[in-house]
Amino acid sequence: MPNDVEVLIAGDRVPVYAHPGDAGADLLAAEAVVIPPGERATIGTGTAIALPDGCVAFIVPRSGLAARHGITIVNSPGTVDAGYRGEIRVTLLNTDAREPFEVRVGDRIAQMIVQEVLRARFVPVESLPGSHRGEQGFGSTGYRGRAASTEGAPE
Ligand SMILES: O=c1ccn([C@H]2C[C@H](O)[C@@H](COP(=O)(O)OP(=O)(O)OP(=O)(O)O)O2)c(=O)[nH]1
């Protein structure tokens, strides 16, 4: 099974896979910004790509920035469509209540995961086929481990 795909790229900040086997290639900031506590900023990466048809790129947060500084992405995962040729931009949110977050040019602010994607053919029907889960959702199975949960209704 091929596990790579050619993605054309314009701009001098090429995303970097830090290790072999990494799913995400780090995106670099093309501009310097200071994000005050609780605020957001949309930051250019100086990068534009041409994904092959049938692919998508998802822009997702970096766990180190999240754990150390409370930095996340407002619209995570950001979706880069195969037909998009504009600059990839990342809307960071500083969730820290006290510390501003400084982004410098060249900082690795997010990561991009390239995937194959199916396109749905939506087929209208009168009723949907049955399934084990049915209409259960939104926490219907609870969240505590079995040992900790009381019997009966899910918590
Ligand atoms: O975090 C993101 C998300 C999207 N994009 C680019 C690539 C994507 O193909 C395009 C449109 O994104 P999306 O479909 O999420 O935006 P929309 O708000 O639905 O706008 P549109 O009406 O342009 O589709 O913007 C980014 O650069 N960064």
77 within some domain: yes
**pLDDT tens figures, 26-85:** 999 999 999 999 999 999 999 999 999 999 999 999 999 999 999 999 999 999 999 999
23 within some domain: yes
**Whole-number pLDDT of residue 145:** 87
Nearest atom in ligand 1 to the alpha carbon of residue 87 is 27
Q: Does ligand 1 come within 6 angstroms of the Cβ of 84?
A: yes
Residue of 47, 80, 85, 109 to mutate, ligand 1, most atoms within 8 A of C-beta = 80
**Whole-number pLDDT of residue 146:** 74
Distances (CA, A) of 110 to 19, 30, 92: 15, 12, 9
**pLDDT tens figures, 105-148:** 999 999 999 999 999 999 999 999 999 999 999 999 998 987 75
Q: Does ligand 1 come within 6 angstroms of the Cβ of 80?
A: yes
40 within some domain: yes
27 within some domain: yes
131 within some domain: no
46 within some domain: yes
Domain with residue 74: its CATH number is 2.70.40.10
**Whole-number pLDDT of residue 155:** 65
In the chain, the number of structural domains is: 1
145 within some domain: no
Looking at the DSSP bridge assignments, the partners of residue 103 are 33
**Whole-number pLDDT of residue 12:** 83
Q: Does ligand 1 come within 6 angstroms of the Cβ of 79?
A: yes
Looking at the DSSP bridge assignments, the partners of residue 35 are 101
Instruction: Print the domain residue range for 62.
Output: 8-116
**pLDDT tens figures, 87-105:** 999 999 999 999 999 999 9
Phi (first) and psi of residue 63, to 5 degrees: -65, -35
122 within some domain: no
- 79 CA distance to ligand 1 middle (Å): 6
